Structure 1
């Protein structure tokens, strides 16, 4: 007898879904029977390539080009997905950008853009869906992809760190605001993930990857499929009592003093 899929016919929305982490999360949810709606800034033809590469059936995949900095665009995306399938029950707030500059180098434009994408965009997306779920009296799950940089100073990415610190309080505030209607809001805060910009750097210079591993007490980098499995776990019905929580997945990085990093 076939095992019942944990998220069968649930609708999941993922912002920044065409990145390495977003794709891994999309694939994981699709494997558990979910309908997956991805929003990102890339054109539709790029999104179609991703669907094929991930092996997601066409009827279980929806893509829309979305600039999360625009609250109305985000609200329209939620509406479009609702009309296409039904009201989503899960939002994975993943869209983010990072500027590798310290405070002395960072421009006002770069600061504003990073806060708009990482923090305002997260608020627009999470709150747009939460309000709809509340209006319908439906429970749901919102998961913010945060970072250990929210609590550990990173002098080379200050705007990113500040935005992720904001995400942590946004998570806690929304968790309390929507708990009465069964909407759970949580944060996953990873350390060194083998994805995105970091992955590109480590692939070009394996020595840097080895150095990163030595900084992690558990001596390993986080792979995207490992992170995706934690996202699914947190959204599972068995965790109905977990809300407003931050789950560190950093291999012990937060246990090491700043001077040792």
Structure 2
């Protein structure tokens, strides 16, 4: 496979989740060094790190709480020491709570926004500051959602947090464009990953029904999301910034 990212270091939050793993594998296959962060214990990463290193690249993991700015800073400090300054930054970590507006506790609301929005800000602010200090170009991709623009009953905090991520992407893109740092968002629709995948795995008929609601008649796999992220970060992509790549199979064209 073409090693087009052979000189790059990719920083991925939520790196042990379904999408995080798919992104790491895709970049590793293209020659990039991989720096994973996640809230899970380091032992959870051992097998996956071995798999990544099978591509002949360097891969490391650090337990990180993206909702804590100090934890994020320590993580990126360690990555710089071990692999160098990350120049591809994938803000992927997220959580979701199911419930109506009046079922949410203040703690649940705050926690979801801290992880999904504050975490994305802490990570990208810290990592891009290092690029600026070293006058390095780079790429930032926020893993957003079509929920940023479409109301999802039962997911109020998730929708609000992803809408915030979309505007953060635009603000950061404008500020960093003169420095050669391009910032974009990938906004998937219904992905067979995380909470959705666990629900659909236990209820195949529900998954089939969901797929039939999508105009293209299929759900999105984590590998498809990863492929689009790699395309956004391709070295020949030099003008796209502040954009949202919507990959929802046409869901946003419907009134659900």
TM-score bin, normalised by smaller chain = over 0.9
CA contact (8 A) 1:90 1:141 kept: yes
Residues 159-211 of structure 1 show CA distances to partners (whole Å, capped at 9, x for unaligned) of: 00000000000000000111111000000000000111111111110111011
Structure-2 separation of matches of 1:82 and 1:54 = 19
Separation in 2, partners of 1:7, 1:232: 10
Task: Give the equivalent residue in structure 2 for 1:87.
Answer: 85
Aligned positions of 1:104-143 closer than 5 A: 104-143=102-141
Find the partner of 2:61 among 50, 60, 63.
63
- Aligned position for 2:204: 206
Task: Give the count of matched residue pairs.
Answer: 256
- The answer as to whether partners of 2:31 and 2:55 remain within 8 angstroms in 1 is no
Q: Is it true that 1:36 corresponds to 2:24 in the alignment? A: no
C-alpha separation in 2, matches of 1:224 and 1:183: 25
CA distance in 2 between counterparts of 1:68 and 1:58 reads 28
- Supply the distance in 2 between the matched residues of 1:249 and 1:24 (Cα, whole angstroms): 16
Pick from 215, 222, 225: which aligns with 1:224? Answer: 222
Please, which runs of 5 or more residues in structure 1 have no aligned partner?
none
* Residue deviations 1:129-166 (CA, integer Å, cap 9, x gap): 11110111110000000000000001210000000000
CA RMSD of aligned residues (A): 1.2
Residues of 1 paired with 2:240 and 2:213: CA distance?
Answer: 30
Superposition TM-score, scaled by structure 2 size:
0.97
Q: Unaligned regions of 5+ residues in structure 2, if any?
A: none
Instruction: Map 1:161-200; keep pairs closer than 5 Å.
Output: 161-200=159-198
Name 2:250's counterpart in structure 1: 252
Deviation, structure 1 residue 60: 1.1
